[in-house]
């Protein structure tokens, strides 16, 4: 698809005026804020001019139009470039530009998805936007192959990325580019603003690799152009669109701060205002009006016309989609539901139920639950960082239960390879495009993907992160593979809910909660080792997971409560049995979700953990951080405060005090 024929190419004079308008809107915004990055927008203005006037399809009247082109500014520090374009498009007002970087404005320092209309992804950390764009392009390919017909191409758009030298230096970009090249994502087009300047100076201080050759080796179509030559930019984009079996990188050589009389091409223009004198001189040099935030009338007129053309494109797609719905009732309803962000009616009924005969690791029950829901939730898709046999994340039930491969995209199982960092961002890109993604690895390797979790939380994305091998009970692999601080680290991220279920039925409800969430990510922490499935005729209903914590076992007159998560719930049950033989009366609380429990009404929380019941013991094979609020003044935490060791699971439990007899000893020693 090449939309160039749908939009009249502006004259060279007008195109040059648009580029200069971008330069000075950007410089004025940074100057007014007294902070920001003018250099990148000024250098990249010609690229933006060509991209938005000749290629990009969107509709400001319908900002979330499903078939719009996605445009990702991966070099997010250059946000005034994007904001200038969003002003031209009609998403932002001039007043918005004048409030750049101010509190509660629609023009924050870096573009933020959901807060700023027209922004397709939150792009702050360098290369994160690029990696998310790989997921968005993959989603487009998946949905196009699933739903398009010869008569109706309802999923048919490009994902464009503007990236910089910093994006290329970050290892994340290589992981993501490697995956995109392997998958042959032909509708992903990255424009690399190669200005050879970073904060400290010339990029050759630390970056001398041949980027072009690297991307060619990764399976990309690569072109090298003058980033200020409009016809060269347009020809390169058209050539990229014509290559359908490779993603494209357009290396555009630019001058940072182009137009600044003394600062252009220098590191000084990267991350600070030009200064009034330099800005005034830059405008005077080309006869530009001295007023701030000036937009020439003919530039306004051109984009007013563009908005009408874009609206017509969207309305034409609406007609195509309407005809598609009439011709393809089942698939059309499925796609319409995905676009609306809804799950099928009654999907919760697919939740499986397990019996006490079902002894298994929660990673194994997690795989069974995943497949039960996948059988009815067509938008559920994902994979593992080369650990599927261990994570148990292969979908074999329902539609599209095949592997995605180069040129074959209709499936839902993704080989992410050993690329945890990229995997998390790619999953976020899938979520941004309407799918309900999951991704999986060992809990300890959360360290590689924390930035992706944080951005998922910032964007309120419903990405599901599956982490197995969740404690020292990994055993012989030793401390490098045994998470200690990881649960606390994940819980520390706002908006993320971590659920650590104790058995198969808790897993089922944990997955239900994760899928029901539409406003934030969920992490599932699952065991490597087998666990009993509790007899729910004797213990509290597993549905209590939906409230984060619940009373699992209780007796009248209890003066001590054992609180535990995950596998340690069974340790609490065993320790309680020993204590009861000594005449103690106890309550056992299963607490799979600390944040979810904290979000419940106080009346419910006080029912589970009465304020008067101050003798509390928390059991979790990790550090105490995060549990302090539940311990109270007389509480005892039994867990770990140092790394684990290599050895059989039973030996480690004994050595680290995580056996029932040793738990009882600790409780008695503490005088509880």
pLDDT band at 3 (very low <50, low <70, confident <90, very high): very low
Instruction: Assess whether 556 and 491 both reside in one domain.
Output: no
pLDDT for res 632: 79
Three-state SS at 447: helix
Residue 586 contacts residue 572 (beta carbons within 8 Å): no
Give a yes or no: residue 490 inside a domain.
yes
Query: Which has the closest alpha carbon to 272: 260, 281, 283?
Result: 260
Query: Which has the closest alpha carbon to 185: 248, 234, 237, 143?
Result: 248
> Can you read off the two tokens belonging to residue 294?
């000036």
Q: Is residue 543 annotated as a catalytic residue, yes or no? A: no
Q: Dihedrals φ, ψ of 358, to 5°? A: -90, 75
> Can you read off the two tokens belonging to residue 365?
């029950």
What is the DSSP-derived secondary structure letter of residue 236?
H
pLDDT for res 6: 63
Residue 69 contacts residue 188 (beta carbons within 8 Å): no
State mean pLDDT over 19-35.
98
Give a yes or no: residue 91 inside a domain.
yes
Give a yes or no: residue 339 inside a domain.
no
Domain count, the chain: 3
Q: Which of 268, 296, 312 is the last residue of a domain?
A: 312
**CB atoms closer than 10 angstroms to residue 117:** 15
Please report which helix (H) or strand (E) contains residue 19, including its range: helix 12-33
Instruction: Assess whether 86 and 113 both reside in one domain.
Output: yes
Give me the domain span that covers residue 382.
347-531
> Can you read off the two tokens belonging to residue 16?
């040059």
State mean pLDDT over 659-671.
97
Instruction: Assess whether 292 and 182 both reside in one domain.
Output: yes
Say whether pTM exceeds 0.85: yes
Give a yes or no: residue 335 inside a domain.
no
Residue 22 contacts residue 49 (beta carbons within 8 Å): yes
Residue 52 contacts residue 309 (beta carbons within 8 Å): no
**CATH number of the domain where residue 120 is located:** 3.40.50.970
Burial of 199 (0-12, 13-18, 19+ CB in 10 A): exposed
Instruction: Assess whether 373 and 481 both reside in one domain.
Output: yes
Given 420, 497, 568, 620, the catalytic residue? 420
pLDDT at 1 over 50: no
Q: Output the CA angle 345-461-91, nearest 5 degrees.
A: 105
Give a yes or no: residue 260 inside a domain.
yes
**CATH number of the domain where residue 582 is located:** 3.40.50.920
pLDDT at 186 over 90: yes
Instruction: Assess whether 553 and 446 both reside in one domain.
Output: no
The full length of the chain comes to 672
pLDDT for res 373: 98
State mean pLDDT over 402-411.
97
Instruction: Assess whether 410 and 497 both reside in one domain.
Output: yes
Write out pLDDT tens, residues 53-66.
999 999 999 999 99
Instruction: Assess whether 161 and 65 both reside in one domain.
Output: yes
Instruction: Assess whether 526 and 578 both reside in one domain.
Output: no
Q: Which of 531, 558, 590 is the last residue of a domain?
A: 531
Give a yes or no: residue 337 inside a domain.
no
Q: Which of 296, 312, 328 is the last residue of a domain?
A: 312
What proportion of the chain, given as a percentage, has pLDDT over 90?
98
Instruction: Assess whether 99 and 173 both reside in one domain.
Output: yes
Please report which helix (H) or strand (E) contains residue 439, including its range: strand 436-442
Give a yes or no: residue 525 inside a domain.
yes
pLDDT for res 298: 97
State mean pLDDT over 336-358.
97
Give a yes or no: residue 481 inside a domain.
yes
Instruction: Assess whether 307 and 278 both reside in one domain.
Output: yes
What proportion of the chain, given as a percentage, has pLDDT over 70?
99
Instruction: Assess whether 604 and 507 both reside in one domain.
Output: no
Q: Which residue has the tokens 């592997």?
A: 403
Instruction: Assess whether 526 and 548 both reside in one domain.
Output: no
Query: Partners of 550 in the beta sheet?
Result: 590
CA gap 412, 408 in Å, rounded: 11
């Amino acid at each position: 698809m090449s939309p160039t024929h749908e939009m009249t190419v502006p004259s060279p004079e007008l195109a040059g005026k648009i580029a200069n308008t971008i330069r000075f809107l950007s410089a004025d915004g940074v100057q007014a804020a007294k902070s920001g990055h003018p250099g990148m927008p000024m250098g990249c203005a010609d690229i933006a001019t060509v991209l938005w006037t000749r290629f990009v399809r969107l509709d400001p009247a319908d900002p979330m139009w499903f078939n719009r082109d996605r445009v990702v500014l991966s070099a997010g520090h250059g946000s005034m470039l994007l904001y200038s374009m969003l002003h031209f498009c009609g998403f932002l007002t001039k007043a918005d530009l004048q409030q750049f970087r101010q509190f509660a404005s629609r023009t924050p320092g870096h573009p933020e998805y959901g807060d700023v209309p027209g922004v397709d992804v939150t792009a702050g950390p360098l290369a994160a936007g690029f990696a998310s764009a790989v997921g968005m392009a993959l989603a487009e390919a998946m949905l196009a192959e699933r739903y398009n017909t010869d008569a109706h191409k309802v999923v048919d758009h490009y994902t464009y990325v503007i990236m910089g030298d910093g994006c290329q230096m970050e290892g994340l970009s290589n992981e993501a580019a490697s995956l995109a090249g392997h998958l042959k994502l032909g509708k992903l087009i990255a424009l690399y603003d190669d200005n050879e300047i970073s904060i400290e100076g010339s990029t050759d201080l630390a970056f001398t690799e041949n980027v072009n050759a690297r991307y060619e080796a990764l399976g990309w179509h690569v072109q090298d152009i003058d980033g200020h030559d409009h016809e060269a930019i347009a020809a390169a984009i058209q050539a990229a669109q014509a290559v359908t079996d490779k993603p494209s990188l357009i290396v555009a050589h630019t001058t940072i701060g182009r137009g600044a009389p003394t600062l252009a091409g220098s590191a000084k223009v990267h991350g600070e205002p030009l200064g009034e004198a330099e800005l005034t001189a830059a405008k005077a040099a080309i006869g530009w009006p001295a007023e701030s935030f000036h937009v020439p009338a003919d530039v306004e007129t051109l984009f007013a016309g563009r908005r009408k053309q874009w609206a017509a494109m969207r309305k034409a797609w609406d007609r195509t989609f309407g005809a598609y719905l009439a011709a393809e009732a089942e698939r059309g309803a499925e796609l319409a539901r995905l676009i609306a962000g809804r799950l099928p009616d009654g999907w919760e009924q697919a939740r499986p139920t397990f019996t006490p005969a079902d002894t298994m690791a929660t990673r194994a029950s997690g795989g069974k639950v995943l497949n039960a829901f996948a059988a009815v939730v067509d938008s559920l898709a994902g994979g593992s960082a080369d650990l599927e046999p261990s994570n148990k994340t292969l979908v074999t039930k329902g539609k599209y239960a095949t592997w995605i491969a180069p040129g074959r995209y209709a499936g839902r199982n993704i080989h992410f390879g050993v690329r945890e960092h990229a995997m998390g961002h790619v999953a976020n890109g899938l979520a941004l495009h309407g799918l309900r993604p999951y991704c999986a690895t060992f809990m300890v390797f959360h360290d590689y993907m924390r930035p992706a979790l944080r951005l998922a939380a910032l964007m309120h994305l419903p990405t599901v992160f599956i982490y197995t091998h969740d404690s020292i009970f990994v055993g012989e692999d030793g401390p490098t593979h045994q998470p200690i601080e990881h649960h606390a680290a994940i819980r520390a991220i706002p908006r993320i809910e971590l659920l650590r279920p104790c058995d198969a039925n808790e897993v089922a409800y944990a997955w239900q909660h994760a899928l029901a969430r539409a406003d934030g990510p969920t992490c599932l922490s699952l065991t490597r080792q087998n666990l009993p499935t509790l007899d729910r005729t004797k213990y509290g209903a597993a549905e209590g997971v939906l409230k984060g914590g619940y009373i699992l076992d209780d007796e009248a007159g209890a003066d001590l409560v054992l609180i535990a998560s995950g596998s340690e719930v069974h340790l609490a049950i065993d320790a309680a049995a020993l204590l009861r033989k000594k005449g103690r009366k106890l309550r056992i609380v299963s607490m799979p979700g600390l944040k979810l429990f904290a979000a419940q009404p106080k009346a419910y929380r006080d029912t589970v953990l009465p304020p008067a019941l101050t003798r509390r013991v928390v059991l979790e094979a990790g550090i105490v951080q995060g549990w302090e609020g539940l311990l109270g003044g007389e509480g005892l935490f039994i867990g770990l405060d140092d790394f684990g060791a290599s050895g059989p699971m039973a030996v480690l439990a004994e050595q680290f005090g995580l056996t029932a007899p040793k738990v009882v000893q600790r409780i008695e020693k503490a005088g509880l």
